[in-house]
Structure 1
Amino acid sequence: MDAKSQQTTMIKSLSLRDNFIWTFIGNVVYSGCQWCMLIIVAKVGNPYMVGEFSLGLAITAPVIMLTNLQLRGVQATDAKREYQFCDYLALRLTTTMLAFIIIIFIIAMSKYKLSTAMVVAAVGLAKCFESISDVFYGLLQQHERMDRIAISMMIKGPLSLVSLGVAVYLTGSVFWGALALGAAWAIVLLSYDIHNGAMVLGEKEKCGMWLQSLIKIRPRWDIKTLYRLAWLALPLGVVMMLISLNANIPRYFIQHYKGEYWLGIYSAMAYLMVAGRTVIGALGQSASPRLAKYYASQDSVSYNKLFYKLLGIGAIIGVIGILVAVLGGEMLLSLIYTPEYAQETNVFVLLMVAAALSYMASFAGYGMTAARYFRSQLPLFVIVTIITTIAAALLIPKLGLIGAALAVILSNFAQLIGSMYIVGLAVRSLKK
């Protein structure tokens, strides 16, 4: 595939409103199905099984985030088209293979029981398929066609839920559930995501069937270009790894001091934060290309207007989550999971406070990335990670799950303050 065909798009961009609607619907369906997977494990199994599955996610997520290099965000905000999709694809394939090798190494070096180690490996394999789909999402996001991403997510979500649910129910094993999950993600990648990539690159007439699309979409292995792109994106990869670590550090301490049972209780409650993140992710992903265009054109007024509108929405969603937890947290936890989880309602309320801070910090993150302030984020998240680690080490051994929730609050508050400072620097640079 030559450069000219890579720069041609056969489909028109959607409006910001349409992109948000599609992204919101896609995220609601996908996040809802992921949540239901956790509920199925909790209902069919027990908190220990939830803990095993959550540990698999906690171990693999930082590795995947690091090796992903946040290429989707880099690609979506590449308003000047400095790199072609074949470059992004080649780098993602390389780093995904590296990610799986690292995950296997971590498992080999760990002292987990065999069943837990197998779950971590299966989750890691599934995450690799998801990672490859993500680079195709970046291409579609760059061209502001969030509808096609949403459709992919709406296919992937129910298929994942059914695959994992049936496997866990029939085998009573999270390991087989995770393998079924990976198979579902691989099917969607091969049958839908790659075909969409071919269409947006102007290969629609040549790629009528999915197999033809698979042949046409080729990575370009130009070492110098891949090195430049990797070096550009590396700070964001490290930042995303640190963000993932910030979310998972409390889980590591809980597993170490309290065991998989209490990790399962905590993870199930923490996952309720996803309800708000569905809206945050939809808005942030839809608005990122627009924010990037405003910043690239040095339109600070439009950039600020959209950015602070997003920040306000994040605050409103967070307050709603806190009210729901205070007024109906116990009933909600009993209804969704089991009475075992409802005994920790105080932890749930604190997690919703942490979620409110997280929503605003996430929008600030989109603002930094849209302004192409990549390297400035690295020292910020190093500091945030240190704060999280110290808080978790001091609070969790003494206060248990409440200590974990307090550590997350401190972490998210530090992230919000630091992110707002960097966005302020970015905007002020436009006015000079």
Structure 2
Amino acid sequence: MKARSVGSNFIWSLSAGLIYALAQWAVLVAFARLATMEEVGQFALALAITAPVLLMSRMQLRTLQATDARSAFGFEHYLGLMVLNVVAGVAVCCAIATGMADSLHAGWVIALVALAKGFEAVSEVFYGALQKVERLGLIARSTIAKSALSVVLVPLALWLTHSPIAGAAAMAFAWAIVLFVFDARALQREFPGVRPWSTLWRTPWRKEGARLKALFLLCWVLGLTALLAALRPNLPRYLLEVHAGQAELGMYAALAYFAALGGRVVHSLGQAVSPRLGRYHAAGDARRYGRALAGFTAASAGVGLCAIAGAALLGRWALTLFYGAAYAGNLELFVWLMAAAALEYVCLSLAVGLTAARELKGQVVLLVVSVAVVAVGSAVWVPRVGPVGAAWALGLGWVSELACSVWLTLRVWRRLTAPEPAQALRTIPPGPVDAREPTAGWVPGVVVEDRKDF
């Protein structure tokens, strides 16, 4: 199978990510325009409840699947585990809705948003298979289709019914259409022998239960890291709201949003290079693994330096243009936030390399350290300095993670360059590994030892 260009994959991924972000914003605008403020609050509550639960349910299976260069697990294992996780996640969201929602109306909104996110999570398994063979163009088209359907169906449902229940149901319906029609057909075109839905009931799960358990034991760590990563940027905001009020928190959040733009660039580039990093590591090719990771890290650092320079030179003009003169008076905070973002981008690039090398448990440790540093820094600086202190705490957290990530990366490099006879015999596959092709003699357990939405 012919390898795709990293540049082409990056452009596809970045374009789709930006379109998806705009679609999310458009859906929120539709709720604000066509529903009451109380109903907008119900939708916001649904997002706040379902996002962490379904994020944990995903367990970053897509990343693990895309970098599974040795095909330790088949498509059926990733799909089966994701379906089980999604069913459990939606059930948990419904249970939370029963206990927290102040009305049956709000409970239905939470349940339907959870269902929509469940469909989106299952799509991630299809994306992982396509990303593994570097078909990010197909993934991008699916994301664009999902965005377009959401922008059309959700406002239409709200306009016809003025009900957030209908809006949430329309979102779930749109994402289900993309999953069952577009994603399934794209996978079958790329892998003609794969029948995704029949796989679920034809696979002998009693015999495959041990492998499913092995996959779960491998990837639960990634789910925990996703949860910790989602918690870290919000810790300073919690304390900022307590000590400075909602106005200061709103200003801080508005300025911090610019960091997400650079993060989208780094994330898209990471999706393009992660399959190759996985193949190079699996083949023991230290030279190409190191060169690819170094190039990715340098590009991420370059994005961060541009963010800092842009904030310092054009920050006042940009803040005035997008938010107004009141925000432009916080240029110092803006520069500090971009400095923290620059550290974040480098950490993200190293995390992709560590995941490709299956250095998973170490990432949990460094995230725990980083979250603890952010929490302590926020407790010390936010009451004294305010929003700037929140940016300092976040930056210090990224510094601690960067130090741990560099140490883990060096450990991976030492393993790759160790003079092991078995390692010297391995060769790099000529192109992307077919997701259907098993690897003889591969034991799933060895994988562990070998080693920013709605």
Q: 2:363: which partner in 1?
A: 377
Q: Deviations over 1:104-131 (max 9, x none)?
A: 4445565989998776655433322221
In structure 1, the gaps of 5 or more residues are 1-10, 205-212
Q: 1:236: which partner in 2?
A: 222
Aligned pairs for 1:86-105 within 5 A = 86-105=76-95
Q: 1:43 to 1:402 in 2, by over 3 A?
A: farther
Aligned pairs for 1:100-119 within 5 A = 100-107=90-97
Pair 1:366-2:352 in alignment: yes
Q: 2:200: which partner in 1?
A: 218
Pair 1:158-2:144 in alignment: no
Shift of 1:357: 1.1
Q: Tell me the SS of whatever aligns to 2:200.
A: coil
Q: 2:264: which partner in 1?
A: 278
In structure 2, the gaps of 5 or more residues are 419-454
Pair 1:327-2:313 in alignment: yes
Q: Tell me the SS of whatever aligns to 1:376.
A: helix
1:48·1:264 contact (CA, 8 Å) conserved in 2? no
Moved more, 148-157 or 100-109: 100-109
Greater C-alpha Rg: 2
1:364·1:423 contact (CA, 8 Å) conserved in 2? yes
Aligned equivalents of 2:276, 2:14: Cα separation in 1: 17
Q: 1:403 to 1:186 in 2, by over 3 A?
A: farther
Aligned equivalents of 1:261, 1:302: Cα separation in 2: 49
1:47·1:262 contact (CA, 8 Å) conserved in 2? no
Aligned equivalents of 1:122, 1:395: Cα separation in 2: 40
Q: 1:4: which partner in 2?
A: none
Aligned pairs for 1:246-265 within 5 A = 246-254=232-240, 264-265=250-251
2:94·2:107 contact (CA, 8 Å) conserved in 1? no
Moved more, 392-401 or 123-132: 392-401
Q: Deviations over 1:323-348 (max 9, x none)?
A: 33333334434544566655655443
Compute the TM-score of the two structures, normalised by the length of structure 2. Answer: 0.78
Compute the TM-score of the two structures, normalised by the length of structure 1. Answer: 0.82
Aligned equivalents of 1:264, 1:49: Cα separation in 2: 21
Q: Deviations over 1:371-417 (max 9, x none)?
A: 11112212111111222222334444454433333332222222222
Pair 1:423-2:409 in alignment: yes
Aligned equivalents of 1:397, 1:165: Cα separation in 2: 42
1:142·1:289 contact (CA, 8 Å) conserved in 2? yes
RMSD of aligned alpha carbons: 3.6
Aligned residue pairs total 414
Q: Tell me the SS of whatever aligns to 1:82.
A: coil
Aligned equivalents of 1:355, 1:128: Cα separation in 2: 30
1:37·1:165 contact (CA, 8 Å) conserved in 2? yes
1:239·1:381 contact (CA, 8 Å) conserved in 2? yes
Q: 1:6: which partner in 2?
A: none
Aligned pairs for 1:262-341 within 5 A = 264-337=250-323
Aligned equivalents of 2:31, 2:190: Cα separation in 1: 38
Q: 1:68: which partner in 2?
A: 58
